[in-house]
Chains A and B, each alone.
Chain A
Amino acid sequence: MSAEGRPALDRSRPPVPGPGRSCSFPGFEVEELASGARLWTLDVPGCGLVTAVLLMPGGSELDAPGRAGLASFTAGLRGAGTKRRGALEFAAAAENLGTAVRTSCGWENAAVAATIGAGDVPAGLDLVAEAAAEPAFLDEEVERRRRRRLAEIERRRSDPAALAGTAFARAIYGGTPYGHPAIGDRGTTEAIARDDIARFHARALAAGSCHLIAVGDLGAGAVRRAIEDTVEPRLRDHARSFDGAPESLEPDFPAPAACRVVVVDRPGAAQTELRVGHSGVPRSHPDRVRLQVANSILGGKFMSRLNLTLREKHGYTYGVSSAFAFRRGPGPFAVSTAVANDVAGAAARKIVEEVERMCAEPPAAAELDDARNYMVGVFPYTLQTIQGLSSRLQTLAAFGLDRDEYHRWPERVRATSREDVLEVCRRHLFPDRLTVVAVGPAEDLLPQLEGLGTAEVQAAA
């Protein structure tokens, strides 16, 4: 082949693109079933698979003091033995379809989910509904699960990232719901009784607050028929709405008036885990998209200010990122990284400086352009899989966002101006009230962190 008839290749500058093809979030339908549950369907013809999720109340935000971990304990037992069959029999039924029924628990909701071949939809949905609506909570299974959870709590005592996350949440949220690890602690795990679990589940199984989300090769009405046969009969007797959500998820004490440092001592640790941040904003906040743009500039991509400074300029770390954890209440804003022990103080100071800079001046026009283009450009990338699409619908359902949230999201990103970025940073970032958590050898860390804020040392275990 030759390049005849074309100008010689100029490698000195990037090629000029042709016109792009636009891509928006696909259409989907929502309807209310007789039980009161909402059915969300998004058809992806020809993919041969369906992913089905039953989203229900029962997230970790409901854990009461003294019962930390109850929500996720309960969630994990769904499908571990039902009123129809034992745990192994249930697992075999799913695995014979080549799949597994997965249970999970977030802050707002619990979920039961499976990805199945399009031809196995009735059998797959039957298992999802059975796990969600008919768990048996046999004593034997409760004790089995308790032992595994206690072992997981043990394991986390030596996991630097888990230690950092736990200490950071506790420092910011104290005794309010977001202050506890979703798994709970040894004491609460031992204290949770079988009756606590059964009662918690009975409260959570409120069809009027459930969402069934089916994405994939739905066929003409086949999935709908399967739902009538498998899900609806199990939800009909629970046709009420959930009314037990906590009234407030705000931290119960004011953010510190100054920065503070919490060192979790791990003598001899090879590296230091750092978390820097404070309480953020709820998912429903009108600034959410502008904050995502601001965060992209600060620490939301490889070319972010934090990564360029800490990794590419100073070589302090393999990587650093920042994020607003959008929850029903104000989830944390956090910068996360792992750095060499001898530069932990310098790295923490650079992080504080970068947060300050976001609040001091608007981003350069080109920097903002790059961030907006990045966010809009990678959007289709997240729409490739039925699980990716389903997770977007789950977010809409869980937070009660407008149905066109993702259809409008790209235009909202594009409409974010330099002034908007500065404004939302000034409104929601507090560089003078940051909590710095450092998990590593206190002996090395304390002198380096001196002057950043009042310091407290905790034992790792």
Chain B
Amino acid sequence: MPEHLEQHELGNGLRVVLHEDRRLPLAAVNVWYHVGSKNEETGRTGLAHLFEHMLFQGSANVSENGHFEHVQKVGGVANGSTWYDRTNYYETLPANRLELGLWLESDRLGFLLEALTEEKFENQRSVVMNERLQRVNNQPYGLAGERLSELLYRRPDGTDHPYAWPVIGYMDDLEAADLDGVRDFFRTWYRPNNAVLTLAGDIDREAALEQVERYFGDLPAGTLPPPPAVEPAGEIGPRGASREILEDSIELPRTYSAWCLDGYGSDDWYAGELLATILSSGRMSRLHRDLVYERQIAQSVSAVVLPTEICATFAVIATCQSREPDPLANAETLESAALEHVEALASAGPTAEELERARRGLLLAHHDSRQDLALCADRLSCAATYFDDPSRAWTEPERLLAVEADQVRDLARRALGPERRAAVIVVPRT
């Protein structure tokens, strides 16, 4: 373990990561619960995220809205977020208020249910439905990502892989959600042995650990359900061509292609990160240079690999520069042009110069991101949750720099072929 970083485990299974960084009088508290939308069931989607909202509605000793009130009145910031594999909650506080964060986080982990009411639930359901309207339904292209995941992760037998549905959930499921479902969800997943607590910043590690023991040590462990049984990444994806055309209130047609790779932390995932960088990061990247700059058929391009746990979506997204004369034809031309670049990398791999440029960019970006304490705490929780090794948050660049050209080529060849590609094209509503 590097200097100033340590991991402990309490008797109830709570893992505690401590990272000392005394530059500013700030302390970051970051909790990861290893539960997200992938632990939901078809027909009850959106529960993990709706639940995240309920965790800000008070607990036995914290009033409704008391969480934000306590944090903001002392000059701290707080929030939470839900992802496919995890839900995180975090506060950044003046360093002398670290204990306030422990009090708040332990109260809602240990004593939430007694404060849950139907009224709070109805209010937050309405807030979340508005969140969905704002981020999805009233957002240009908002539904395309959802449809893409469904095409990629719906199995031939009609069942859904756990990444098939959106984290925020479907509107019908949000309407059908009830308070009992929320209670069950809490009892099942919100246990110290399913959590990582990271404290980072201007902290005394010994004293901090003692306080963690005091606030969290007596919260009971639970029995966790087994992880969902899923097929290997290589078996995920449509069989043969699967492309849908969506109409939306948009002006510029857009094309999405997606494939499935091994999950975050695997060798393939890191190769995928390099591949995505070489395809679309910076003006010299292949897609940008050819489609945006030279041919001027794209307004924007991006290639991404999502950091998900059990497998990972690799997506290539390109937006047309014009809808004229024929939106669909423009989108298809752009789609083929983007795929040709994926194929070119599959056949010859990246050049040494491209690889070096991508490495330098990723390294600088990692270095840059180390300045933000809350982000560091989140990465430590992430590495402890997935790999039981917080120091992997710091060694991420080494894994990226170790990727060689032939790994990038082999990955493109093996995993990004036409036979497992899911695709969506969005055209203006006529």
Contact between chains at A370 and B283 (CB < 8 Å):
no
- Write the chain B residue with the least CB distance to A8: B214
- Complex: A92 Cα to B353 Cα, angstroms: 10
Within 8 A of A (CB), among B132-166: 133-135, 137-138, 140
Choice from A12, A311, A370, A380 contacting B61 with Cβ under 8 Å? A12
In the complex, chain B residues whose CB is within 8 Å of the CB of A47: 371
Contact between chains at A308 and B130 (CB < 8 Å):
no
In the complex, chain A residues whose CB is within 8 Å of the CB of B135: 318
- Complex: A98 Cα to B282 Cα, angstroms: 10
A248 at the interface (CB under 8 A from B): no
B182 at the interface (CB under 8 A from A): no
Contact between chains at B138 and A377 (CB < 8 Å):
no
Contact between chains at B140 and A17 (CB < 8 Å):
no
Instruction: Please encode chain A, from 1 to 30, with 1 for each CB lying within 8 Å of some chain B CB and 0 for all others.
Output: 101001001011111011111110000000
Contact between chains at B70 and A14 (CB < 8 Å):
yes
CB contact under 8 A between A88 and B126, given known A98-B364, A384-B373: no
The tally of CB-CB contacts under 8 A between chains A and B is 209
In the complex, chain A residues whose CB is within 8 Å of the CB of B128: 318
Instruction: Please encode chain B, from 388 to 413, with 1 for each CB lying within 8 Å of some chain A CB and 0 for all others.
Output: 00000000000000000000000000
Instruction: Please encode chain B, from 199 to 224, with 1 for each CB lying within 8 Å of some chain A CB and 0 for all others.
Output: 00010000001100111010000000
B interface residues, how many (CB within 8 angstroms): 81
In the complex, chain B residues whose CB is within 8 Å of the CB of A379: 75
**Partner-binding segment picked from B233-241, B244-252, B331-339:** B244-252
Within 8 A of A (CB), among B322-351: 322-323
Choice from B72, B111, B129, B251 contacting A158 with Cβ under 8 Å? B251
Contact between chains at A147 and B293 (CB < 8 Å):
no
CB distance from B51 to the nearest CB of A (A): 16
A302 at the interface (CB under 8 A from B): yes
Instruction: Please encode chain A, from 139 to 150, with 1 for each CB lying within 8 Å of some chain B CB and 0 for all others.
Output: 000001001100
Contact between chains at A377 and B283 (CB < 8 Å):
no
Within 8 A of B (CB), among A328-384: 338-340, 369-370, 373-381, 383-384
Contact between chains at B75 and A378 (CB < 8 Å):
yes
Within 8 A of A (CB), among B5-40: 23-26
A271 at the interface (CB under 8 A from B): yes
**Partner-binding segment picked from A69-77, A128-136, A262-270, A392-400:** A262-270
Contact between chains at A3 and B65 (CB < 8 Å):
no
- Write the chain A residue with the least CB distance to B10: A1
B107 at the interface (CB under 8 A from A): yes
CB distance from B274 to the nearest CB of A (A): 14
Contact between chains at B100 and A15 (CB < 8 Å):
yes
B118 at the interface (CB under 8 A from A): no
- Complex: A421 Cα to B322 Cα, angstroms: 50
- Write the chain A residue with the least CB distance to B132: A318
Contact between chains at A147 and B60 (CB < 8 Å):
no
CB contact under 8 A between A20 and B364, given known A158-B250, A381-B92: no
B231 at the interface (CB under 8 A from A): no
Contact between chains at B61 and A13 (CB < 8 Å):
yes
- Complex: A92 Cα to B357 Cα, angstroms: 9
Contact between chains at B140 and A159 (CB < 8 Å):
yes
CB distance from B253 to the nearest CB of A (A): 11
- Complex: A369 Cα to B75 Cα, angstroms: 11
Contact between chains at A381 and B251 (CB < 8 Å):
no
B94 at the interface (CB under 8 A from A): yes
- Complex: A9 Cα to B99 Cα, angstroms: 12
Choice from B65, B103, B251, B292 contacting A11 with Cβ under 8 Å? B103
Instruction: Please encode chain B, from 269 to 296, with 1 for each CB lying within 8 Å of some chain A CB and 0 for all others.
Output: 0000000000000111000010011001
Contact between chains at B75 and A98 (CB < 8 Å):
no
In the complex, chain A residues whose CB is within 8 Å of the CB of B202: 21
CB distance from A319 to the nearest CB of B (A): 8
Choice from B72, B96, B138, B357 contacting A18 with Cβ under 8 Å? B96
Contact between chains at A380 and B140 (CB < 8 Å):
no
Choice from B69, B106, B299 contacting A148 with Cβ under 8 Å? B299
B383 at the interface (CB under 8 A from A): no
In the complex, chain A residues whose CB is within 8 Å of the CB of B61: 11-13
Instruction: Please encode chain A, from 32 to 61, with 1 for each CB lying within 8 Å of some chain B CB and 0 for all others.
Output: 000000000000000111000000000000
- Complex: A1 Cα to B23 Cα, angstroms: 29
B115 at the interface (CB under 8 A from A): no
Contact between chains at B24 and A1 (CB < 8 Å):
no
CB contact under 8 A between A14 and B251, given known A1-B210, A96-B360, A159-B140: no
CB distance from B279 to the nearest CB of A (A): 14
Instruction: Please encode chain A, from 268 to 285, with 1 for each CB lying within 8 Å of some chain B CB and 0 for all others.
Output: 111101000000000000
In the complex, chain A residues whose CB is within 8 Å of the CB of B107: 11
A312 at the interface (CB under 8 A from B): yes
Choice from A92, A154, A302 contacting B72 with Cβ under 8 Å? A302
CB distance from B247 to the nearest CB of A (A): 12
- Complex: A60 Cα to B70 Cα, angstroms: 41
- Write the chain A residue with the least CB distance to B217: A1
Choice from A9, A92, A303, A377 contacting B65 with Cβ under 8 Å? A303
In the complex, chain A residues whose CB is within 8 Å of the CB of B252: 151, 154-155
CB distance from B179 to the nearest CB of A (A): 15
In the complex, chain B residues whose CB is within 8 Å of the CB of A116: 364
Choice from B123, B299, B357 contacting A152 with Cβ under 8 Å? B299
In the complex, chain A residues whose CB is within 8 Å of the CB of B296: 144, 147
- Write the chain B residue with the least CB distance to A3: B214
In the complex, chain A residues whose CB is within 8 Å of the CB of B123: 312-313, 315
Choice from B106, B131, B322 contacting A318 with Cβ under 8 Å? B131
CB contact under 8 A between A17 and B251, given known A98-B360, A318-B130, A384-B371: no
- Write the chain A residue with the least CB distance to B111: A11
Choice from A13, A21, A266 contacting B96 with Cβ under 8 Å? A21
Please list 8 pairs of residues, one from A and one from B, whose beta carbons are closer than 8 Å in the complex, sorted by A's number: A13-B61, A87-B283, A92-B284, A151-B321, A159-B140, A271-B137, A315-B127, A381-B26
Q: When A and B form their complex, which 3 residue pairs have the shortest distance between CB atoms, in order from nearest?
A: A377-B75, A315-B126, A98-B360
Other A-B contacts than A273-B138, A338-B133, A377-B76, 5 sampled, CB-CB below 8 A, are A12-B61, A151-B252, A155-B299, A318-B128, A340-B129
| A residues apposed to B, CB below 8 Å | 1, 3, 6, 9, 11-15, 17-23, 47-49, 87-88, 91-92, 95-100, 115-117, 144, 147-148, 151-152, 154-155, 157-160, 266, 268-271, 273, 301-303, 308, 311-313, 315-318, 338-340, 369-370, 373-381, 383-386
